[in-house]
Chains A and B, each alone.
Chain A
Amino acid sequence: MSAALPTTRQGAATRAILYAILLVFAVIYLLPLYVMLTTSFKTLDEIHQGNMLALPVEWTFAPWREAWGSACIGLECNGVHGYFFNSIKIVIPAVLISGLLGAFNGYVLTKWKFRGHKIVFGLILFSCFIPFQIILLPMARMLGVLHLANSTWGLVLVHIIYGIGFTTLFFRNFYASFPDELVRAAQLDGAGFFVIFFRILLPASVPIIVVTIIWQFTNVWNDFLFGVSFASGDSAPITVALNNLVNSSTGVKAYNVNMAAAMVAAVPTLIVYILAGKYFLRGLMSGSVKG
């Protein structure tokens, strides 16, 4: 039910003002993205002479080519493409494994309850909310011991561990409303633990799988703290490379190249958001309120 007030007695003028306000906000929200995009297609001369809000007079793809293939990050001048692939190498296994663990956890915590299941869930859930500063020091040492420091596999491990909390929360809330009768009936038919999971629950789990994948993908892709703490040099993810490019370049700042690199870092999550915004929002909401 919408709580909207009826529009019958509202004058046309009020409606016009309403739309005007909403449009102004839309422009404000789009402006930074617009400026980022247009700047990335301008030459440096145009940036220094022209207006930030104007469209490029002369469109150039050179900043994108430079950002992707030849911009200098640290001592190497190969652009961000290697770091982009690092992020892909990190995000795929991290999302799949933490998602699978979360699905199993949610299944056990709702359909195979045992004494203390609530405490276990509470302990897992709390791990979503800790400030990660508390684990930075021991994790840095642990990755050293495991010979995973400065490698993408180290970051995969870190993202799996600290992703379990949210994936478990998503699947637990989803399976909590899955009818117990179906599970019990299957049990009476002799179906075991895994058969019930793979034949009965999993086929019905598509929506929550989509929510989980999108949430984890966005979180892992956008991570900066773990990347900057545990992976330097060649194994850094795209966010770390972008920050190094933007904030430590010496000499003339190539704003157009910076903006192109920022767009490269932003495009994957933006595409996911545009294609599946509904699921993205659902993930955000279940991270904040009871599912």
Chain B
Amino acid sequence: MSNASPDRDGGARERLQRWLPKLVLSPSCVLILFFVYGFIAWTSYISFSDSGMMPDYTWVGLHQWSRLWTSWTWGIALHNIWVFGLLYIVSCIVLGLVLAILLDQRIRAEGVLRTIYLYPMALSFIVTGTAWQWFLNPGLGLEKTMHDLGWQSFSFNWLIDSNMAIYTVVIAAVWQATGFVMAMFLAGLRGIDGEMIKAAQIDGAPAWKIYARIIIPQLRPVFMSAIVVLAHLAIKSFDLIVAMTGGGPGNATAVPATFMYSYAFSRNEMGIAAASAVFMLAVIAALIIPYLYSELREPRS
């Protein structure tokens, strides 16, 4: 065997070596193709079908979609995600940027402070929701604490007020993500070229002007990343709302993610649930694909 045509032996080995990389990559590719893209296709088809409790492949055109868009709860969910998303993104960015700039002034305990600002990001949304639900509990939490401290007229019952409940979710969500946005801005600040700043300082420009005119404009890529990441987190937000308000009071804090879940698993309306999921995917794809494209493009220089 050992001296039987070394040529063919080497050929087979080489062929194997040539195919091996693709062979190793293929299980992941098969899994992703089937469980991501196949499933997307299936869900998309279901959104045009007559499916209720069980899948029913009868084509009904836009029937489920028109039921979705005429649904009262879906309207609330869309309105909420707008309010939540906008406030969440703006607050996280403003607070994150301010904290990053303050921390960037050669602060002695920077490491400790950074650790404190960022730790909520390591917590589960369910833990965060549980903690804030308790903290903002009208009977026993912040409100009672303020009364005990002598501020009798203090009132904070947003958690059970259907007009205000969504804002409690914003507070908890901002608390959780600001540290991360701060870390992104801090990394951006550390990467800025010091030359222009020095020149401006020599010219006697005041600090706020240097930040407004030179430093913040250079952080544009960080703003882009932060907005995309936060928007993506906002659209997917489900856990925090379930843990804090359960979508209530009533439907007051419903968002697309909780809408989809309840139509899929409690109301047994697969068709509408699928349509809402496809809508969420379309919004995220419109946001993420251009971003990924610009991030992954080879640098031109």
Residues of A within 8 A of B (CB): 1-7, 18-19, 21-22, 25-26, 28-33, 35-36, 39, 47-48, 51-53, 101, 104-105, 107-109, 112, 114, 118, 120-127, 129-142, 160-162, 164-165, 168, 192-194, 218, 221-222, 224-225, 228-229, 239, 242-243, 246-247, 255, 258-259, 262, 265-266, 269-270, 272-274, 277, 280-281, 284-285, 287-290
**Docked complex Cα distance between A240 and B45 (Å):** 30
**CB <8 Å contact, B122 and A269:** yes
Q: Which A residues are in CB contact (< 8 Å) with B20?
A: 192-194
**CB <8 Å contact, A222 and B124:** yes
**Docked complex Cα distance between A123 and B285 (Å):** 12
Does B126 lie at the interface of the complex (its beta carbon under 8 Å from any beta carbon of A)? yes
**CB <8 Å contact, A108 and B21:** yes
* B237 to A: closest C-beta gap in Å: 10
Of A5, A32, A101, A125, which contacts B135 at CB under 8 A?
Answer: A32
Residue on A nearest B103 in the bound complex, by CB: A22
Q: A25-B117, A52-B144, A285-B183 are in contact. Are A125 and B242 (CB under 8 A)?
A: no
Q: A2-B104, A284-B180 are in contact. Are A221 and B187 (CB under 8 A)?
A: no
**Docked complex Cα distance between A290 and B284 (Å):** 19
Further contacts, 14 of them, CB under 8 A, given A5-B105, A118-B296: A2-B194, A22-B99, A108-B24, A134-B40, A135-B35, A141-B55, A218-B122, A225-B261, A229-B261, A242-B124, A243-B242, A246-B243, A258-B130, A259-B130
* B264 to A: closest C-beta gap in Å: 6
Of A2, A101, A138, A225, which contacts B39 at CB under 8 A?
Answer: A138
* A210 to B: closest C-beta gap in Å: 15
**CB <8 Å contact, A139 and B17:** no
Does B94 lie at the interface of the complex (its beta carbon under 8 Å from any beta carbon of A)? no
Q: A2-B190, A29-B116, A224-B242 are in contact. Are A123 and B37 (CB under 8 A)?
A: yes
Does B155 lie at the interface of the complex (its beta carbon under 8 Å from any beta carbon of A)? no
Chain A CB within 10 Å, residue with most, of B106, B119, B133? B119
**CB <8 Å contact, B36 and A135:** yes
**Docked complex Cα distance between A76 and B125 (Å):** 24
Q: A3-B104, A133-B276, A246-B243 are in contact. Are A101 and B193 (CB under 8 A)?
A: no
Q: Which A residues are in CB contact (< 8 Å) with B39?
A: 134-135, 138-139
* B262 to A: closest C-beta gap in Å: 11
**Docked complex Cα distance between A85 and B245 (Å):** 27
Q: Which A residues are in CB contact (< 8 Å) with B130?
A: 36, 242-243, 246, 258-259, 262
**Docked complex Cα distance between A284 and B148 (Å):** 41
Q: Which B residues are in CB contact (< 8 Å) with A131?
A: 235-236, 257, 277, 280-281, 284
Residue on A nearest B238 in the bound complex, by CB: A225
**CB <8 Å contact, A6 and B201:** yes
Residue on B nearest A193 in the bound complex, by CB: B20
**CB <8 Å contact, B260 and A136:** yes
Q: A193-B20, A222-B124 are in contact. Are A130 and B296 (CB under 8 A)?
A: no
**CB <8 Å contact, B243 and A247:** yes
Residue on B nearest A167 in the bound complex, by CB: B28
